[in-house]
Chain A
Amino acid sequence: MTVYLLKRLAIALITLVLASMVVFAVLEIIPGDPARLMLGLNASADQVELLRNQMGLNAPLALRYLHWAGGLLSLDFGRSYTYSVPVIDLVRERVVVSLPLALIALALSTIIAIPVGLFSAGRHGRAGDTIAMGAAQLGVAVPNFWFALMLIYLFAVWLRLVPSGGFPGWSAGVWPALKSLILPAIALALPQAAILARVTRSALIEVLNEDYIRTARAKGLPFRAVLWRHALRNAMIPVLTILGLQFAFLLAGTIIIENVFYLPGLGRLVFQAITQRDLIVVESVVMLLVAAVIAVNLLVDLSYAVVDPRLRSRQ
């Protein structure tokens, strides 16, 4: 068990370090001078030089990387050029939008997908299965931002049930804030739920063909009990894998969805920073999102060990 844990942890750390190098390098290899890129063509040479010093661009490469990485570790992400505030402050005020959004979407997708997968697998090949999987097939094909537009049209413009965009802030009360997150969360969750339901179903069907399912049936357990007690847990590994991958999708999805709904979240922050060429913000926020993905994948690896005793004892 400990060896498995340590190995996973080591891999996660290595990936994190490599990822930070990649992020750093990509912004280093930008054609032209980053400072000039940020300031635009009209900037004077003095302005550029000032910014270069501010960004520490005149130091040697390795030193700059270490400085930057060290800063990240102590949560010092530098100052945003466009907003003239520490990046950490920007992150702090944006994360309270993005994190709840991603979590609600993830929860919603899981709550919808697992029961649908169980339902479909239990009725493999029959009408209920065909209808559920037809719907899932459609769900997979829908781009979330278009789905978001349709939701806005239906619920905000037509039915006027929820705001069509914007975020009142948590200070305006939990309910108004949540209300403005409902549509974005649904838009993010449904296509993911469709994928997850398909994976759950096929994992269950695969497991239901295993010999031990027959052993359980021969014990006298009815099919439903076998599905819940024996099949579901064995089918969890592919489902967990997909859940981990979906977290990355959800993070990326927030970039577009937050744009559709004008939500002041991390995704919108990084998107705006990219278009405004605020490289310090881009670097830090991308690194933060990447770290989140790596952490979630580590969590998924650990949950494998909880589900499957074979991994626990593989010393």
Chain B
Amino acid sequence: MSLLEIQRLSLSIGDTPILRDVELSVAPSEVMGLVGESGSGKSITALTVMRLLPWAARATGRVVFDGIDILAASEDQMCALRGDDIGMVFQEPMTALNPVKTIGEQVAEGIRWHTRASRADAEDRARKMLDRVGLPSAKFPLSRYPHELSGGQRQRVVIAIACALKPKLLIADEPTTALDVVLQAQILDLLRDLVAENRMGLLLISHDLAVVTEMADRITILRHGEVMEAGDTARTLSEQLHPYTRQLAQASMHVPARARAHEVGQDNPQLQAANPLLQVAKPLLQVESLTRDYPGRRKSLLKRAAPIRAVVDVSFSIDPGQSVALVGRSGCGKSTLARMVLALDGPTSGTIRFRDQVITGKSEAELKPARRDMQVVFQDPYGSFDPRQKVEKLVAEPLHVLGKKPTNAERREMVAKALHEVGLSPRDMDKYPHEFSGGQRQRLSIARAIITRPKLVVADEPVSALDVSIRAQILDLFAELNQKLGVAYLFITHDLTVARAITDQVMVMHDGKIVERGRTSDVLDHPQSEPAKALVTAAPDLHRAIARRLQEQG
């Protein structure tokens, strides 16, 4: 007997159909994984079970939870179910908690509401629940406010709220997407334990096939509001009978074809000394004992806390044409380092040399030649374009650094060429950015980066906001341009599969320092330092997950 049974669920918002004939079930103490790319209707399915849909949504079909017809239930009935029998965890921990209420109040509130317990009793139970999710009373008293907690800690509070009354069903909508891999592994462990302890059913929603494979007993794959395939996780993913399942799985494990990795140990001084030929190739970028401090918080009028050290004594170099990954947990200083390399932020001390020119402490005018040879691709394909300008102007923006201003015709020609190189049509020049999809915008972003024929492109999480199939295409494009134009990359990412896919070397950053550097495959297969080991162990891996599942099932 299923705990949750969804039959022929169709849903539309206004005139837009969102779901069509969705079938799904969750049994007690079972983990059901719901997978799909953005816009597949995963979240709406979850909100339908909670009946927290937008006003204009109209649903048909049957949703039965524990014998109750959810779609026909009254609002009072739903309020009794929510938070008591069904708990829900959301994607964005930073905004999921009320900033003006203490975590104790927020956990206890649901307990008091449903059980009519006294304040003291409810707080007592809230305390136990917070202990259970890994927030012990010594460091996390009930009187803490959300802003005093980190993202991972906040997600624990949200889980405590959702599980406070030991619900029969927990819905987790992308619970770890906003967290880095190490935190993700911790939160997934916690969810797994809670399911086992309370015989809860868990509906786990994720875009990440590897995460779902590690967690779920059964899996449902959703696309454009329709179920593509459903069944036992290990079998579904190992057999890959449905073409869309195969496509998703392959995209998740995609490695772009790269003819020649940038081998040879240029960064091995002994080897360089031994081979005079190698010394000819001077490093493109040289970073020497770079440090960036931010002033600490003011504690009183005269006292400040110690400065926050974002980047501490970092040195490295990148050769022409080399593709280097900079990996690390969120907040480790990767992005600060990238900004300094791009001369968008100045270091507290240390120097950066680009093509043998010192670029630290230089005026904007002196930086012009360096800027021409150094470009950037950002993470957010939506935020990195001015919505008021046309593609032609946006892609041509870096031409500003050229010594001689190109004429209009020259400019259009250069933009057309760049668009062609990233697989877009020159006709796209007269469109606005909002007319493109996320993947296409990332192509635009790359077109903008290569229009000046730079020697180095710094890419800050360039594929982490993209769906897996689009991600694979963009990685291919990066790999192709690396080969064709000989451009070097500094790839900032928290995702080891991305690093593995297109970089020759990897640098692992932790607490502002670079703790390990080496060939990508060496570091990822045999990490030496603790931070690197933690990253590698925590990273979800589809191959490994499927293998483990198959093994468990014999």
Q: Give A contacts to B, CB under 8 Å.
A: 2-3, 6, 125, 210-212, 214-222, 225, 229-230, 233-234, 307-310, 313-315
Chain B 69-84, CB-CB to A under 8 Å as 1, else 0, gives 0000001100111111
Q: Which of A217, A218, A307 has the most CB of B within 10 A?
A: A218
Min Cβ gap B94→A in Å is 9
Whether A220 contacts B98 by the Cβ 8 Å rule is no
Give the chain B neighbours of A214 by CB distance below 8 A.
52, 90, 96
Check if B301 sits within 8 Å of A220, measured CB to CB: no
Judge if B420 is at the interface, Cβ distance under 8 Å.
no
Q: Which positions 51-105 of chain B face chain A at CB distance < 8 Å? A: 52, 55, 75-76, 79-84, 87-88, 90, 92, 95-101
Residue of B nearest to A309 (CB): B145
Shortest beta-carbon distance, B139 to chain A, in Å? 16
**Chain B residues positioned under 8 Å from A210 (CB to CB):** 95
Contact call A3/B97, Cβ cutoff below 8 A = no
CB < 8 Å neighbour of B100 from A211, A215, A309: A309
List 12 additional contacts besides A211-B90, A216-B109, A315-B299; criterion CB under 8 Å: A3-B299, A214-B90, A217-B50, A218-B52, A218-B88, A220-B84, A220-B110, A221-B113, A308-B100, A309-B147, A310-B145, A313-B147
Cα distance, A315 to B300, chains bound together (Å):
7
B188 to chain A: closest CB distance in Å?
Answer: 20
Complex: A125 Cα to B56 Cα, angstroms = 12
Give the chain B neighbours of A229 by CB distance below 8 A. Answer: 109
Residue of A nearest to B51 (CB): A217
Give the chain B neighbours of A233 by CB distance below 8 A: 100
Q: Ordered nearest first, which 3 A-B pairs have the shortest CB separation? A: A220-B83, A219-B110, A219-B83
**Using Cβ atoms and an 8 Å threshold, which residues of chain B touch A125?**
55
Bound form: Cα–Cα A217–B79 in Å: 8
Asked whether A211 and B96 contact (CB < 8 A) given A309-B145, A313-B145, the answer is yes
- Least CB distance, B117 to chain A, in whole angstroms: 14
Inside 8 A of B106's CB, which chain A residues have their CB? 215
Task: Using A215-B97, A308-B99 as known contacts, say yes or no to A220 and B79 having CB atoms under 8 A apart.
Answer: yes
| B99–A217 CB distance below 8 A | no
With known contacts A313-B147, A315-B299, A212–B80 Cβ distance under 8 A: no
A234 touches B298 (CB 8 A): no
Find chain B residues with CB under 8 A from A315 CB: 297-300
29 A-B pairs with CB atoms under 8 Å apart are: A2-B300, A3-B299, A3-B301, A212-B99, A214-B52, A215-B96, A215-B98, A215-B161, A216-B98, A216-B109, A217-B52, A218-B88, A218-B162, A219-B82, A219-B110, A220-B79, A220-B84, A221-B79, A221-B110, A229-B109, A230-B98, A234-B98, A234-B99, A234-B100, A309-B99, A310-B147, A313-B147, A313-B148, A314-B297
Q: Which residues of A contact B450 (CB under 8 A)?
A: none
A221 to B299, CA, bound (A): 39
User: Does B158 belong to the interface (CB within 8 Å)?
Assistant: yes
Given contacts A3-B301, A211-B92, A315-B297, contact A218 B87 (CB under 8 A): yes
Chain A CB within 8 A of B114 CB: yes
Tell me the complex Cα distance, A87–B323, Å. Answer: 79
B82 partner, pick from A2, A211, A218, A225, beta carbons under 8 A = A218
Give the docked Cα–Cα distance between A7 and B337 (Å): 33
A216 to B55, CA, bound (A): 18
Q: Interface readout for B136-147 with A: 1 if CB under 8 Å, 0 if not?
A: 000000000101
A212 touches B97 (CB 8 A): yes
Select the residue from A212, A229, A308 with max chain B CB neighbours within 10 A: A212
Within the assembled complex, what's the spacing in Å between the Cα atoms of A293 and B202? 56
A234: chain B residues at CB < 8 Å are 98-100
> Which residues of chain A are near B114, meaning CB under 8 Å?
220
* Chain A: minimal CB distance from B56 (Å): 10
In the docked arrangement, what's the CA distance between A163 and B442, Å?
A: 72
Among candidates B55, B84, B158, residue contacting A215 with C-beta atoms closer than 8 Å: B158
State the CA gap A116–B176 with chains docked (Å): 40
Determine if A219 and B113 form an interchain contact, defined as CB atoms under 8 angstroms apart: yes
Q: Closest chain A residue to B102 by CB distance? A: A309
A174 shortest CB reach to chain B, Å = 39
- Nearest residue in A to B97 (C-beta to C-beta)? A212
Residues of B within 8 Å of A211, CB to CB, are 90, 92, 95-96
Which of chain A's residues have a CB closer than 8 A to the CB of B82? 217-220
A3 near B80 with CB under 8 A, answer no
Q: In the bound complex, how far is the Cα of B164 from the Cα of A220, in angstroms?
A: 12
Mask: chain B, 105-121; 1 = CB below 8 Å from A; 0 = not: 01001100110000000
A211 to B92: give the CA distance in the assembly, Å: 8
* CB pair A220 B113 closer than 8 Å: yes
A220 touches B80 (CB 8 A): yes
User: Of A2, A3, A310, which one neighbours B99 at CB under 8 angstroms?
Assistant: A310
Task: Give complex CA distance A229, B148 in Å.
Answer: 21
Q: Once the chains are docked, how many angstroms separate the CA of A180 from the CA of B24?
A: 70
B83 contact set on A, CB distance < 8 A = 218-221
Q: How far is the CB of B336 from chain A (nearest CB, A)?
A: 22
Considering the chains assembled together, what is the distance between the CA atoms of A215 and B147 in angstroms? 16
A245–B51 Cα gap in the complex (Å)? 41
In the bound complex, how far is the Cα of B101 from the Cα of A155, in angstroms?
A: 47
Contacts of A2 in B (CB 8 A): 300
Taking the closest CB of chain A, its distance from the CB of B366, in whole angstroms, is 38
- With both beta carbons as reference points, the residue of chain B lying nearest to A310 in the complex is identified as B147
Taking the closest CB of chain A, its distance from the CB of B130, in whole angstroms, is: 15
- Residues of A near B96 (CB, < 8 A) are 211-212, 214-215
CB A257 to nearest CB in B, in angstroms, measures 36
Closest chain-B Cβ to A237's Cβ sits at a distance in Å of 10
- A209 CB, nearest partner CB in chain B, Å: 11
Taken together as a complex, chains A and B put the C-alpha atoms of A314 and B100 apart, in Å, by: 14
**How many angstroms from the CA of A185 to the CA of B311 in the assembled complex?**
60
CB-contacts of B386-415 with A (<8 A): none
CB B6 to nearest CB in A, in angstroms, measures: 18
CB-contact partner of A219 in B90, B95, B109, B148, under 8 A? B109
Contact B301 A6 (CB under 8 A): yes
Contact B98 A222 (CB under 8 A): no
CB distance from B64 to the nearest CB of A (A): 19
Task: Report the Cα distance A67→B41, complex, angstroms.
Answer: 74
Residue of B whose beta carbon sits closest to that of A237: B100
Contacts of B55 in A (CB 8 A): 125
Q: Which A residues are CB-close (under 8 A) to B76?
A: 222
Closest chain B residue, CB of each to CB of A212: B98
Shortest CB–CB separation between residue B109 and chain A, in angstroms? 6
B75 to chain A: closest residue by CB: A222
Q: Residue on A with the closest CB to B92?
A: A211
User: Shortest CB–CB separation between residue A227 and chain B, in angstroms?
Assistant: 13
| B88 adjacent to A3 (CB under 8 Å) | no
Give, as a whole number of angstroms, the nearest-CB distance from B424 to chain A: 35
With A and B bound together, what is the CA distance between A65 and B81 in angstroms?
70
Contacts of B113 in A (CB 8 A): 219-221, 225
Chain A residues near B145: list those with CB within 8 A: 309-310, 313
Q: Mark B422-465, 1 if CB is under 8 A from A, else 0.
A: 00000000000000000000000000000000000000000000
Given contacts A234-B98, A310-B99, contact A3 B298 (CB under 8 A): yes
B296 to chain A, nearest CB (A): 10
B259-300 toward A: CB 8 Å interface, digit per residue (1/0)?
000000000000000000000000000000000000001111
Are B147 and A221 neighbours in the complex by a CB distance under 8 Å? no
- Nearest neighbor of A3 in chain B, beta-carbon distance: B298
- The residue on B at minimum CB distance from A236 is B100
How many angstroms between the C-alpha atoms of A313 and B55 in the bound complex? 38
Closest to A6 in B: B301
